[in-house]
Amino acid sequence: MNILLIDNGTRYINHLLTLLSYEQVDLKPWSQLSSASREYDAIILSGGHSYEIATHSKEYAREIAYIKESPSPILGICLGFELIAYTFGAKLKKISTQEKGTLEIEITTPDPLFIGLKQRVRVFENHRWVVDELPEDLSSLARSKDGIEILRHNNRMMYGVQFHPELCLDQNKKENFITRFLEQARLFK
Protein backbone atom coordinates (compact mmCIF):
# COMPACT_ATOMS: atom_id res chain seq x y z
CA MET A 1 0.00 0.00 0.00
CA ASN A 2 1.03 3.57 -0.65
CA ILE A 3 0.53 5.38 2.68
CA LEU A 4 0.84 9.05 3.56
CA LEU A 5 2.02 9.38 7.16
CA ILE A 6 1.44 12.93 8.39
CA ASP A 7 3.80 13.68 11.26
CA ASN A 8 2.15 16.02 13.75
CA GLY A 9 5.29 16.18 15.87
CA THR A 10 4.89 12.80 17.55
CA ARG A 11 7.65 11.41 19.74
CA TYR A 12 6.66 7.98 18.46
CA ILE A 13 7.38 8.40 14.74
CA ASN A 14 9.95 5.58 14.73
CA HIS A 15 7.39 3.22 16.27
CA LEU A 16 4.95 4.11 13.49
CA LEU A 17 7.59 3.62 10.81
CA THR A 18 8.52 0.22 12.29
CA LEU A 19 4.88 -0.89 12.28
CA LEU A 20 4.51 0.33 8.68
CA SER A 21 7.86 -1.05 7.47
CA TYR A 22 6.15 -3.49 5.08
CA GLU A 23 4.31 -0.67 3.30
CA GLN A 24 5.41 2.16 1.00
CA VAL A 25 5.33 5.21 3.29
CA ASP A 26 5.57 8.88 2.34
CA LEU A 27 6.35 10.80 5.56
CA LYS A 28 5.37 14.48 5.57
CA PRO A 29 5.41 17.03 8.40
CA TRP A 30 1.94 18.49 9.02
CA SER A 31 3.23 21.98 8.28
CA GLN A 32 4.21 20.99 4.71
CA LEU A 33 0.90 19.60 3.45
CA SER A 34 -0.52 20.78 0.17
CA SER A 35 -3.95 19.98 -1.27
CA ALA A 36 -5.36 16.47 -0.89
CA SER A 37 -4.62 14.00 -3.66
CA ARG A 38 -5.79 10.55 -4.74
CA GLU A 39 -2.28 9.09 -4.91
CA TYR A 40 -2.45 7.43 -1.46
CA ASP A 41 -4.22 4.20 -0.54
CA ALA A 42 -4.45 5.35 3.09
CA ILE A 43 -3.52 8.31 5.26
CA ILE A 44 -2.39 8.16 8.88
CA LEU A 45 -2.40 11.29 11.05
CA SER A 46 0.10 10.87 13.89
CA GLY A 47 -0.17 12.18 17.39
CA GLY A 48 1.81 15.22 18.44
CA HIS A 49 2.41 17.92 20.99
CA SER A 50 3.25 20.97 18.87
CA TYR A 51 0.03 22.94 19.36
CA GLU A 52 -3.33 22.28 20.92
CA ILE A 53 -6.03 22.35 18.26
CA ALA A 54 -8.61 24.36 20.20
CA THR A 55 -6.53 27.55 20.07
CA HIS A 56 -4.43 26.90 16.96
CA SER A 57 -6.90 26.11 14.17
CA LYS A 58 -5.05 28.50 11.81
CA GLU A 59 -1.83 26.49 12.20
CA TYR A 60 -3.72 23.27 11.39
CA ALA A 61 -5.82 24.78 8.55
CA ARG A 62 -4.06 22.78 5.79
CA GLU A 63 -4.42 19.50 7.68
CA ILE A 64 -8.07 20.22 8.45
CA ALA A 65 -8.67 20.93 4.74
CA TYR A 66 -6.84 17.68 3.90
CA ILE A 67 -9.14 15.75 6.25
CA LYS A 68 -12.22 17.31 4.65
CA GLU A 69 -11.10 16.82 1.03
CA SER A 70 -9.15 13.56 0.86
CA PRO A 71 -10.96 10.64 -0.75
CA SER A 72 -8.49 8.15 0.81
CA PRO A 73 -9.16 6.16 4.00
CA ILE A 74 -7.86 8.07 7.05
CA LEU A 75 -6.77 6.95 10.51
CA GLY A 76 -6.10 9.63 13.14
CA ILE A 77 -4.01 8.77 16.21
CA CYS A 78 -4.29 10.88 19.41
CA LEU A 79 -3.85 14.42 18.00
CA GLY A 80 -5.00 12.98 14.66
CA PHE A 81 -8.16 11.73 16.43
CA GLU A 82 -8.65 15.22 17.89
CA LEU A 83 -8.14 16.81 14.46
CA ILE A 84 -10.82 14.58 12.89
CA ALA A 85 -13.24 15.31 15.74
CA TYR A 86 -12.55 19.06 15.56
CA THR A 87 -12.83 19.13 11.75
CA PHE A 88 -16.39 17.83 11.90
CA GLY A 89 -17.50 20.06 14.78
CA ALA A 90 -16.82 18.15 18.02
CA LYS A 91 -15.85 20.14 21.10
CA LEU A 92 -12.49 19.26 22.66
CA LYS A 93 -12.20 19.42 26.44
CA LYS A 94 -8.92 19.80 28.34
CA ILE A 95 -8.59 17.47 31.31
CA SER A 96 -6.93 18.59 34.53
CA THR A 97 -4.11 16.04 34.46
CA GLN A 98 -2.40 14.36 31.54
CA GLU A 99 -3.62 10.85 30.81
CA LYS A 100 -0.45 8.79 30.34
CA GLY A 101 -0.08 5.06 30.61
CA THR A 102 -2.19 1.97 30.08
CA LEU A 103 -5.96 2.40 30.15
CA GLU A 104 -8.84 0.01 29.55
CA ILE A 105 -11.33 0.97 26.86
CA GLU A 106 -14.67 -0.65 26.11
CA ILE A 107 -15.79 -1.32 22.56
CA THR A 108 -19.41 -0.12 22.49
CA THR A 109 -20.38 -0.47 18.82
CA PRO A 110 -19.61 -3.39 16.48
CA ASP A 111 -17.35 -2.59 13.53
CA PRO A 112 -15.25 -4.64 11.07
CA LEU A 113 -12.20 -3.12 12.80
CA PHE A 114 -12.97 -5.17 15.92
CA ILE A 115 -13.70 -8.65 14.56
CA GLY A 116 -12.12 -11.18 16.93
CA LEU A 117 -11.29 -8.66 19.67
CA LYS A 118 -12.60 -8.75 23.23
CA GLN A 119 -15.06 -6.05 24.30
CA ARG A 120 -12.50 -4.57 26.70
CA VAL A 121 -9.03 -3.72 25.40
CA ARG A 122 -5.98 -2.22 27.14
CA VAL A 123 -4.28 0.61 25.25
CA PHE A 124 -1.53 3.20 25.82
CA GLU A 125 -2.68 6.80 26.30
CA ASN A 126 -0.72 10.06 26.30
CA HIS A 127 -2.98 13.13 25.98
CA ARG A 128 -4.56 16.14 27.73
CA TRP A 129 -7.66 16.55 25.57
CA VAL A 130 -10.83 14.45 25.35
CA VAL A 131 -14.02 14.35 23.33
CA ASP A 132 -17.30 13.65 25.16
CA GLU A 133 -19.82 14.21 22.38
CA LEU A 134 -19.68 13.90 18.62
CA PRO A 135 -21.51 15.75 15.86
CA GLU A 136 -23.89 13.83 13.57
CA ASP A 137 -21.18 13.01 10.97
CA LEU A 138 -19.21 10.94 13.51
CA SER A 139 -20.04 7.91 15.67
CA SER A 140 -18.42 6.63 18.85
CA LEU A 141 -17.17 3.04 18.71
CA ALA A 142 -15.36 2.79 22.07
CA ARG A 143 -15.17 4.69 25.36
CA SER A 144 -13.09 4.91 28.52
CA LYS A 145 -13.50 6.75 31.81
CA ASP A 146 -12.29 9.89 29.98
CA GLY A 147 -14.69 9.84 27.04
CA ILE A 148 -14.68 8.65 23.44
CA GLU A 149 -11.66 6.53 22.49
CA ILE A 150 -12.49 5.41 18.95
CA LEU A 151 -14.61 7.27 16.43
CA ARG A 152 -15.72 6.63 12.87
CA HIS A 153 -17.06 8.93 10.18
CA ASN A 154 -20.54 7.79 9.17
CA ASN A 155 -20.11 8.20 5.40
CA ARG A 156 -16.38 7.87 4.77
CA MET A 157 -13.60 5.39 5.55
CA MET A 158 -12.24 7.48 8.42
CA TYR A 159 -11.39 6.42 11.97
CA GLY A 160 -9.77 8.11 14.94
CA VAL A 161 -8.22 6.51 18.04
CA GLN A 162 -7.43 8.63 21.10
CA PHE A 163 -4.67 6.21 22.15
CA HIS A 164 -1.33 5.15 20.61
CA PRO A 165 -1.60 1.75 18.85
CA GLU A 166 1.97 2.19 17.56
CA LEU A 167 3.19 1.58 21.13
CA CYS A 168 1.66 -1.89 21.21
CA LEU A 169 4.40 -3.42 19.04
CA ASP A 170 4.70 -6.45 21.33
CA GLN A 171 1.08 -7.48 20.78
CA ASN A 172 -0.02 -9.85 18.05
CA LYS A 173 0.19 -7.84 14.81
CA LYS A 174 -3.35 -8.93 13.90
CA GLU A 175 -4.65 -7.23 17.07
CA ASN A 176 -3.05 -3.87 16.33
CA PHE A 177 -5.55 -1.16 15.33
CA ILE A 178 -3.23 0.23 12.64
CA THR A 179 -2.91 -3.22 11.03
CA ARG A 180 -6.68 -3.68 11.24
CA PHE A 181 -7.29 -0.25 9.68
CA LEU A 182 -4.92 -1.05 6.80
CA GLU A 183 -6.71 -4.37 6.19
CA GLN A 184 -10.03 -2.48 5.92
CA ALA A 185 -8.42 0.17 3.68
CA ARG A 186 -7.24 -2.57 1.29
CA LEU A 187 -10.87 -3.70 0.97
CA PHE A 188 -11.96 -0.11 0.36
CA LYS A 189 -10.18 0.11 -3.03
Q: Which of 82, 125, 149, 166 is catalytic?
A: 166
Active site residue 164: yes
Distance CA 189, CA 174 (A): 20
* Residue of 39, 17, 140 lying closest to 81 (CA atoms): 140
Q: Which of 63, 78, 82, 127 is catalytic?
A: 78
Active site residue 56: no
Active site residue 166: yes
Distance CA 120, CA 122 (A): 7
Q: Which amino acid is at 135?
A: P
Pair 149, 123: CB distance under 8 Å: yes
Distance CA 42, CA 34 (A): 16
Q: Which of 63, 153, 164, 168 is catalytic?
A: 164
- Please identify every residue annotated as catalytic: 78, 164, 166
